[in-house]
Amino acid sequence: MSLPDRRAQRRESTHRAISAAALQLIVEQGAEGLSVAELARRAGVSRRTVFNHYSSIEEAAVAQTLWELDELSETIPLPQIPDDAALPVVVARLVEAFVLSPASLELILRLSALSRELRSHPAVAQWGQRTVEHAVGILTERTARLRPGADLLQVRILCLSLVAACAA
């Protein structure tokens, strides 16, 4: 492995260690009283390294949830959908498969707890929007796998509508 590859791998590993520790801290202690020193200790890095990767503990925790969404999306099999099914049916079945999987429900509960803990944070709405957009992107990509010729704007609108309905 070349030196740049090792550096990139190490950076990614550090990035993930910080984000995992941040989410764990918020879940265990709540958003109040969090310290970068404690986050750095748990992640096995310096305070400076934390800020080289993230602007805040909360941002790191949100990054962890986005990675978990990515990993989760790869574990949920594409549902069997008839070839002649209408596009809204395809999207609805994908959302249903995603939302009803036990791992998804666990992640949704953690996201709910995270949003409750961070509700007073000024950027929480922005992070919530990032999470929703990320989920919509995953569902749009998976729909495109099932229906390669589908209008991606229409797919995205359908996905966004269903995800928003689930979040309400």
pLDDT confidence of residue 100: 81
Higher pLDDT, 48 or 129: 48
Per-residue b/e over 79-97, b at no fewer than 16 CB within 10 Å? eebeeeeeeeebbbbbbeb
Mean pLDDT of 139-165: 88
Q: What is the pLDDT of residues 87-104, one digit of tens each?
A: 999 988 988 888 788 888
Does residue 1 carry a pLDDT above 60? no
pLDDT confidence of residue 13: 92
pLDDT confidence of residue 41: 95
**What global pTM score does this model have?**
0.73
pLDDT confidence of residue 121: 66
Residues 64, 32, 25, 115, CA torsion sign: negative
Band of pLDDT at residue 38, cut at 50, 70 and 90: very high
| Domain assignments of the chain as residue spans, ordered by start | 3-167
Q: What is the pLDDT of residues 43-63, one digit of tens each?
A: 999 999 999 999 888 788 888
The answer regarding whether domain 3-167 maps to CATH 2.102.10.10 reads no
